[in-house]
Structure 1
Amino acid sequence: MGSRHGLRVDAVLVQAVIAGALSFAHLRDLAAAAGQDGWKAWAYPVSVDLLLVAAWRRLRSEGPSRLAWCWFVVALFASLGANVATAGFLDLADLPALLRLGIAGWPALALLGGTLLAHSSTADSGPVPPAPLADAEEDGPPTEQLVPVAEPASVTEVVTEPGAPPASPDQAPAPAPAPPVPAVLVDHARKVADEYRARTGSPIDTDTLRSRLGVPPHLADAIAAHLT
């Protein structure tokens, strides 16, 4: 198994070397036919192949993106076009002006593509990540804070005057005095009570009086005591 696997890998590598050498030679011949003589003719296939490899590595490492696919197609078209052009479809001694223009402008195009592939990342054009939970809570409505309520004391403290004998534990505290009620509030409560009696035929109860006047329970009890 190991020998077969190694043979298969070697065959792929040999095939890649042959295909690369042929493509390199075709690109070099086309550049020389377009007037790029000397070392410049050898530099063109290197530039095309490097751009093709850079775009492919970008696709493999960071996933599909429009930028990497665009420059991969451009480099592949340049390599494939050179292979087709040198197959006898064009007269290498008299290349079309548009093809000469493309070969002359290829260095600037390759430089732009290589720069974009090297100095841009998918994070620049990717979707914006969602806002953190802390920011979302600051932007949203304020949450209600629970205020702890003190529990009532289980033992009632009895306050005694100085010099008085201490009260026994069984002795109940004296009831609190009724709060003073303004006369204006009593008159208004009496009008509410009369209107309620005329409408229902029964005297108003303390809870209804409290809800109509909007007063606390102890004050409603004191007002009800004035109405009786």
Structure 2
Amino acid sequence: MNNPIRPDAVLVQAVIAGALSFAHLHDLAAAAGQTGWKAWAYPVSVDLLLVAAWRRLRSDGPSRLAWCWFLVALVASLGANVATAGFLDLAHPPGWLRFGVAGWPALAFLGGTLLAHSPTPHQASVDRVPEPEPVTATRAPEPAPEPEPLPLAEPPAALPEAAPAPDVEAPAALVAHARRLADDHQARTGIPIDRDTLRSRLGVPAPMADAITAQLT
């Protein structure tokens, strides 16, 4: 079911105020020499610019452009209403009034064009193409410095002749372990391992160390 049309007091008031303002603008334009359809076009131009600026303010938020043209259209509308209240002799309008009415179409055209085609802050942020990040040349890693050659080790001094080993028999596993220690010592220091060092590494008594040293040599 269609809802019945109910009169709205605010809407009725807006229609009455708009009709009065429209008539005042028409009378002012006609008094300034704009006759015929031109006098009727002036109220439409002023009211449309006022509505366009207000819509821009409501939809896109406050901006200097929208506020500027809203105030221009508001001053034109209020000026026309006040001028027709007897403050001016419309039978003999002054020159500045004729000048303003004649220049209004160009001014309204400029305002309407700027309001229609100026990008909003949201559109400006969307249309802005992000600038490419500067490409920084990656520096190739410098080659690691070659290790300096180790100085040649002096030839190892001859081991002192071992005293005749006592009659001690070293286990084969212990001898194999001692050989690994001797080889490691030779590789690290460049000299053969001596008896005292071998003894301390193995933790064996002196006779056992002598027997193992004799087997290593």
1:124–1:104 CA distance, 2 compared to 1 (3 A):
farther
1:102–1:125 CA distance, 2 compared to 1 (3 A):
farther
Cα distance, 1:125 vs structure 2: 10
Matches within 5 A, 1:170-189: 172=180, 174-175=183-184, 177-178=187-188
Q: Secondary structure at the match of 2:90?
A: coil
Structure 1 position 70 matched with structure 2 position 64? no
1:58–1:99 CA distance, 2 compared to 1 (3 A):
same
> Higher Cα Rg: structure 1 or 2?
2
1:179–1:115 CA distance, 2 compared to 1 (3 A):
farther
* Segments of 4+ moved more than 3 angstroms: 124-128, 170-174
The aligned residue for residue 107 of structure 1 is 105
Could you tell me how far apart the structure 1 residues matched to 2:9 and 2:135 are?
A: 62
Structure 1 position 10 matched with structure 2 position 20? no
The aligned residue for residue 117 of structure 1 is 115
Query: How many corresponding residue pairs?
Result: 143
Q: Any stretches of 5+ residues in structure 2 without a counterpart?
A: 139-176, 191-217
| Sequence identity percentage | 72
Q: Is contact 1:33-1:95 (8 Å) kept?
A: yes
Structure-1-length-normalised TM-score: 0.55
One-letter code aligned to 2:74:
L
One-letter code aligned to 1:115:
T
Structure-2-length-normalised TM-score: 0.57
Could you tell me how far apart the structure 2 residues matched to 1:53 and 1:68 are?
A: 11
Q: Secondary structure at the match of 2:8?
A: helix
Q: Any stretches of 5+ residues in structure 1 without a counterpart?
A: 1-5, 143-169, 181-228
The aligned residue for residue 80 of structure 1 is 78
Could you tell me how far apart the structure 1 residues matched to 2:59 and 2:113 are?
A: 17
The aligned residue for residue 18 of structure 2 is 20
One-letter code aligned to 1:78:
A
The aligned residue for residue 91 of structure 1 is 89
The aligned residue for residue 42 of structure 1 is 40
1:107–1:172 CA distance, 2 compared to 1 (3 A):
farther
Q: Is contact 1:65-1:122 (8 Å) kept?
A: no
The aligned residue for residue 204 of structure 1 is none
